[in-house]
Amino acid sequence: MIALLMRDLRLAFRAGGGFGLGLAFFLILAVLVPLGIGPEPQTLARIAPGILWVGALLACLLSLDRIFALDFEDGSLDLLATAPVPLEGAVSMKALAHWLTTGLPLVLISPVLGLLLFLPGEAYLWLIVSLALGTPALSVIGTFGAALTVGLKRGGLLLSLLVLPLYIPTLVFGAEVVSRGAMGLAVDTPLALLAGITAGAVAILPFASAHVLRINLR
Amino acid sequence: MGLNVRDLACARGGLAMLEGVSFSISPGAALVLRGPNGCGKTTLLRTLAGLQPAFGGEVDCPPEAIAYAAHADGLKATLSVSENLQFWAAIYGTRDIDTALEQMNLRALAGRAAQNLSAGQKRRLGLARLMVTGRPIWVLDEPTVSLDVASVALFGDVVRHHLASGGMAVIATHIDLGLPEAEILDLSRFKARLPEFGVGDFNEAFL
């Protein structure tokens, strides 16, 4: 399974692998919002937590359909399903690889983009913490969506429609953590709920995704 | 040990394609499947590989014994030949990729990215993958597509070598692999009769 993770990471970094797609999107969004809204620091500071979270979410969504579609097209998904690796493990590794190439870079670059949006100083810590806790859920839920739509021609639209509602709790609580942090309020409750969603998704969804994949490969 | 299939029925899209397929292979033997296009060869092979459940009957073999090779080779275009093989070797828990490179005549191409291979070379790499699985039963779907005459002979030798070391093979193919000892099974004999829908069955079709 480590071999699968290493292969996916290597593929992501090679030409045409899609690494940086989400990152570039996130960057463009954070640069364009001040241009569109206007440069008043108070306005930007107020909407910064929401913008940054929505941006991270959409950036994650952008690369979801690659998780299984490429493997399905070249036949490696069939071969992986007949390999001695449990499919649940393979799915988890795929989700982990997606997080390492999409979610983690977003977490690391978010403070810089916070600066562009005049995010108040107290909120930086909570921005990083909430993204670090929330983006794994985005990857795992997205992997489930990708498993559901694998094999469908042009499944990207259906994938977005299926996955976006499932992303909403993470978005609500993640953005709430950052806005409360920015106002200097206690963040315990939304942070606990955010962590709970991630823990639940990581625990349950790989099994659901593997089952769905088996059905889709028939 | 061996592969025993009894009264197997396979379905595609919920309709039976084949029924009553029975055969058994013992170590060292090969079975060649023949039949017109669309008669269910791939469906049968996917059922054997465990990718889809049997519609009826049973397949009796150790679950960890089968290595499946489909129409698609499962290669990653941006990985080199040896990286592709190393990945599958690691997945199957084996280490040696040199024998496979040597036997499929891929040694000179080991460092080349899979996207720069010709169709026949890709196919040879896909078949080399079978050798690194270390599994005894090979289930092959049209293995010789896009191979030239020399490569077909090369592949015939590889299969014969695999059989001589106690392996087994089920091969769907239209051309002669040079395996005179292989048993031939014509699948058109097992074509399933389509169920006749009467008026009474009409609503059941939607349940």
B74, B78, B87: residue with CB nearest A3: B87
B92 touches chain A (CB under 8 A): yes
* Gap between the Cα atoms of B5 and B59, Å rounded: 5
CA distances from A27 to A31, A80, A133 (A): 6, 35, 20
Question: Does the residue B44 lie in any domain?
Answer: yes
Question: Does the residue B77 lie in any domain?
Answer: yes
Site from A14, A82, A85 to mutate, B interface, most B CB atoms within 10 angstroms: A82
Q: Nearest-CA residue of chain A relative to B93?
A: A84
B44 touches chain A (CB under 8 A): no
Site from B76, B79, B122 to mutate, A interface, most A CB atoms within 10 angstroms: B76
Contact call for residues B97 and B70 (beta carbons, < 8 A) = no
CA distances from A140 to A64, A85, A103, A107, A217 (A): 10, 19, 11, 16, 20
CATH number of the domain that B73 lies in? 3.40.50.300
Over the stretch B127-146, which tens digit does the pLDDT of each residue have?
899 888 888 899 998 888 88
| CA distance, residue B50 to nearest chain A CA (Å) | 7
- Looking at residue B201, its pLDDT comes to 55
Q: What is the dihedral of CA A60, A62, A65, A71, to 10 degrees?
A: -80
In sequence order, the 6+-apart residues with CB closer than 8 A to the CB of A4 are A80, A85, A90, A93, A94, A97, B87, B91
pLDDT tops 70 at residue B199: no
Distance between alpha carbon A123 and the CA centroid of its chain, in Å? 21
- Looking at residue A17, its pLDDT comes to 67
Phi, psi of B106 (to 5 degrees): -110, 0
Give strand pairing partners of B31.
B170, B183
Which residues in chain B touch residue A12, judged by CB atoms under 8 angstroms apart?
none
| CA distance, residue A9 to nearest chain B CA (Å) | 12
pLDDT tops 80 at residue B115: yes
State whether A79 and B71 contact (CB < 8 Å).
no
B77, B78, B91: residue with CB nearest A83: B91
State whether A84 and B79 contact (CB < 8 Å).
no
Q: Which domain holds residue A83?
A: 2-217
B88 touches chain A (CB under 8 A): yes
Question: Does the residue B122 lie in any domain?
Answer: yes
How crowded is residue B67: how many other Cβ atoms within 10 Å of its Cβ? 24
- Looking at residue B196, its pLDDT comes to 60
Q: Which domain holds residue B188?
A: 28-52+64-195
pLDDT tops 60 at residue B206: no
Instruction: State the total domains in chain A.
Output: 1
Name residues of chain A where pLDDT drops below 70. 15-17
Give the E-state strand segments of B13-134 in sequence order.
15-25, 30-34, 56-60, 66-69
Site from B42, B51, B137 to mutate, A interface, most A CB atoms within 10 angstroms: B51
- Looking at residue B198, its pLDDT comes to 52
State whether B70 and A76 contact (CB < 8 Å).
no
Instruction: State the total domains in chain B.
Output: 1
State whether B51 and A14 contact (CB < 8 Å).
no
- Looking at residue B200, its pLDDT comes to 53
Q: Quick one: pLDDT band at residue B203, thresholds 50, 70, 90? A: low
pLDDT more than 90, % of chain A: 59
Average confidence score pLDDT of chain B = 85
Which residues in chain B touch residue A79, judged by CB atoms under 8 angstroms apart?
68-70, 74, 88, 129
pLDDT more than 90, % of chain B: 3
Question: Does the residue B179 lie in any domain?
Answer: yes
A154 touches chain B (CB under 8 A): no
Taking a contact as any Cβ pair under 8 Å apart, which residues of chain B between 138 and 197 contact chain A?
Answer: none
Contact call for residues B97 and B89 (beta carbons, < 8 A) = yes
Over the stretch B64-111, which tens digit does the pLDDT of each residue have?
888 898 888 888 888 899 999 999 999 888 888 888 888 888 888 888
- Looking at residue A6, its pLDDT comes to 87
